[in-house]
Structure 1
Amino acid sequence: MLRQLTITTACLAALLACGVARASDELAISQVQAERVGIETSPLEQQPAAMGLSFPGKITVPPDRTRLMNAQLGGRIERLLVRTDTAIKVGDVLAELQSPALAHAQAEYLVAYNKERLLRTNLDREQQLAPYGAVPKKQVIITQNEYDQARATVAERRQALSHVGMTEPQIEKLTTSQVLDPKLTLISPIDGVVLESTTMPGQTIEALAPVFRLAQLAPLWVEVQVPALRAEDFAVGARVTLNGHDCVGRVVSIGSSVEATSQTVIVRAEFDDPDPDLRPGQMVEARIAPSTSGKAEWRVRSGAMVRRGSDAFVFVQTSGGFVATPVKVREELPQFAVVSGSFRGDERIAVRGVAALKGAWQGLGGVE
């Protein structure tokens, strides 16, 4: 049963400082009293489900689908064989550099390789002569130790050449020809596209300077900016569509922090088979299926809602007055708020004179 609080027009605004009424209390106000203090009502307006679930988003490439191509050694750019937006395959040559540092690394490898060959020859000869006493056993041990060190050095130098971009056939050619080749090639490690090229022919760059940024464009992410009050409506795995595009994705993560300026949470959706016309950096409208799908929501003017602590209420008109009814704010915009609550759908709520109702609701002084 609702407990009625009968108030007079004269004392309606003087009740702020006296006690606090419960949310279920009915404020008994006649139509004449309501008109005198400027209380106006409006029908409760249902929020269409499709509205409020479409949010702005940006196309991005998942971090594990991008690759930054650096020049492992410093040098001068001789040729760029690809440009931004070029489709590439694994093994494609992207750029060629002239690198004195590469020539130096090759020379170190050849010195180590030739020393290892010489020590191998010496060791074989000494091992053949040692049984006849022509070479002391101690000398064989020393040569064996030197050879083992030289072999380790060759392996290290060979690995260094591989690390800076030389392929096994190129290293074998260097070993056979004994001719230095300072041309350093950058080779694509993935199938994808060139997102960015940061250099030009003739430019001298330092070691580890970025030259290209590569990416695989499937799958793609959409980083959706969802109002913080809406974030709890969605769950990982929820269906996501993009307005104007024929592709379907799913939510893979929901941000745990709120962006301070926009008060939004980043909800990331992954599209395994995105439309070909979707590009990184492109702004889109994303629609996310809420986990609370089917739950009615209502639109109320911002001025029609009152707060008590962290709770929000609207004043629903009854046959004898008004009842403060709790609502849950789903989205708050400058002109209106989207809320959910226990409504039939045919209620009328106070949209003007709300301050007077709030005062009567909070204070019990003057109640007749």
Structure 2
Amino acid sequence: MKTLHTPLAVMALAALTLLGACQDKPEPVAAAPLPIIQNKQLRYPAGHPQLPLLVSTAATKAQSIQIDLPAKLVWNEEKTQRVYPAFAGRVTRISADVGQTVKAGQVLAELASPEFGAAQADTSRAQADATLAKLALQRQRELFEAGVVARKDLEQAEAEAARSQAEVARAQARTSLYGSGTGVNMQLGLRSDMAGVVVERNLNPGQEVRPDSAATPLFVVSDPSVLWVSIDAQEGDLKDLRPGAKVSLNVANGPEQSMTATISAVTDQIDPSTRTIKIRATVANPQRWLKNEMLAKVRYQRQVDNSIEVPASAVFLRGNQHYVFVQSQAGVFEPRDVKVAYEGAQRVLLSEGLQEGEQVVSQNGLLLARELRIAQEAAHAAEPSKP
């Protein structure tokens, strides 16, 4: 059986297809109206979908602000000695180890040193020469009194005796500086000149050491009960961080309670690479929880003289001028220039341009800045061109 395609049937089929296509097409969605510029204010219509994104925060008055500065714990250099070899030699005995308490003058290690033996031999030779010169002087004096020799010979003997005594004093002072008495034994003792704790040891038995290659000290003796705190400060911190000022010291994974450090010295120069000023403080460490080279954070309260505090996310920079967005009423935002007194990672202090209680945009301010620029360009394009 054949199907007849009449013109009327074809037209009906096309009409049904067109009707179905029209029914599947989605309804057009009305675009949100754009904000407008009016009296230098950006105005959003009520119910605009971007308004919930623009979160505002009230500006508050601040009397002081908490300042955190990076710091590092180091040995107290006033109570620290680094022991280096004065002569080349080989380590024969080590009598002190890390963590051991030592007294002033205690031998930490001994070296077999031919160079030190030569210094000891010089001392013995100087003593022998001095003895001979003393005998020669005594003989010349007796001959002079007997009228056998001239005064010139006596004076020459006296000068020679004086020179020999000076040489003995020099040689003895050199060997006595390193703990040697009389005799030649080539045993050089490495001594600590101060009482403390051995905090570092960098030698082993049988090791050969030389003064010209000892970049690292063989021993470091220090008093770990008092440490120095090296603080990296900014120029604005100098007013508060003066010698005698107290700061709070916090160490990660250290004691739960913060410790008090006292500022002891402030350098007179700025580091050209980091633009920071080195400040030194001292902190008591009776329990020896704090360690050398431990990173820390120093905290103090800076007086700010009634500044206005806002979140750091609310402040923007245009060229060299800071500004914020102030919400005067619902849906109305105004850019306002401000002067920054202190800029921290979380909070910013303003000295001019904002009053306490005013609402500033603290979230999605970049979106607001973009919308402001678009509205300004649209308003400028809509202005009639001047002849």
Q: TM class by shorter-chain length?
A: 0.7 to 0.9
In the alignment, structure 1 segments of 5+ residues that lack a partner are 1-7, 13-24
- Is 1:117 aligned with 2:131? yes
Task: Return the alpha-carbon distance in structure 1 between the equivalents of residues 140 and 153 of structure 2.
Answer: 8
Change (3 A) 1:200 1:10: closer
1:318 partner SS: strand
Match of 1:271 in 2: 282
List per-residue Cα deviations over 1:96-132 (Å, max 9, x = no partner). 1111112111111111111111111121122122122
Q: In the alignment, is residue 92 of structure 1 matched against residue 92 of structure 2?
A: no
Match of 2:141 in 1: 127
Across the aligned residues of Structure 1 and Structure 2, the Cα RMSD in angstroms comes to: 3.9
Distance in structure 2 (CA, Å) of the matches to 1:58 and 1:184 = 36
Amino acid across the alignment from 1:268: I
How many residues align? The count is 332
TM-score, normalising length from structure 2? 0.71
Deviations 1:296-336 (A, max 9, x none): 532142xx433233231101122465141404163454xx6
CA spacing shift, 1:236–1:326, aligned 2, 3 Å: same
What amino acid is aligned across from residue 282 of structure 1 in structure 2?
Answer: M
Q: Quote the Cα distance in structure 2 between the aligned partners of 1:291 and 1:154.
A: 65
For 2:84, give the aligned amino acid: N
Q: Distance in 1 between matches of 2:150 and 2:282?
A: 73
For residues 75 and 305 of structure 2, what CA distance do their matches in structure 1 show?
Answer: 29
Match of 1:353 in 2: 368
Q: Deviations over 1:43-72 (max 9, x none)?
A: 247699998634443211244433221111
CA distance in 1, matches of 2:235, 2:318: 18
Aligned residue for 1:340? 350
Shift of 1:358: 5.7
User: Match for 1:144 among 151, 158, 165?
Assistant: 158
CA contact 2:324–2:336 (8 Å) conserved in 1: yes
CA contact (8 A) 2:35 2:44 kept: no
> Equivalent residues in 2 for 1:1-368 (5 A)?
27-32=40-45, 35=48, 40-44=54-58, 53-163=67-177, 165-166=178-179, 170-171=180-181, 174=182, 179-207=183-211, 209=214, 210-225=217-232, 231=237, 234-237=240-243, 238-243=245-250, 244-245=256-257, 247-251=259-263, 252-253=265-266, 256-257=269-270, 265=276, 268-276=279-287, 277-292=289-304, 295=307, 297-301=309-313, 304-319=314-329, 321-328=333-340, 330-331=342-343, 333=345, 338-341=348-351, 342-349=354-361, 351=365, 352-357=367-372, 365=380
Structure scoring higher RCO (CA < 8 A, sep ≥ 6) equals 1
CA deviations 1:64-109 (Å, max 9, x no partner) are: 4332211111111111111122222212221111111121111111
* Residues 120-175 of structure 1 deviation map (CA, whole Å, 9 limit, x = unaligned): 11211221221222333332233222222212221221222133x12xxx53xx1x
Distance apart, 1:33 and its partner CA:
8.8
CA distance in 1, matches of 2:303, 2:357: 22
Q: Residue 265 of structure 1 aligns to which amino acid in structure 2? A: T
Give the 4+ runs in structure 1 shifted more than 4 A: 8-12, 33-39, 45-52, 228-234, 293-296, 358-368
The whole-number CA distance in structure 2 between the counterparts of 1:272 and 1:101 is: 43
Q: Between Structure 1 and Structure 2, whose CA radius of gyration is higher?
A: 2
Shift of 1:235: 2.8
**Partner secondary structure for residue 32 of structure 1:** coil
The whole-number CA distance in structure 1 between the counterparts of 2:339 and 2:373 is 15
Structure 1 CA distance, aligned partners of 2:140 and 2:122? Answer: 27
Mind listing any 5+ residue stretches in structure 2 that lack a counterpart? 1-32, 251-255
Q: Percent identity?
A: 20
How far off is 1:217 after superposition?
2.7
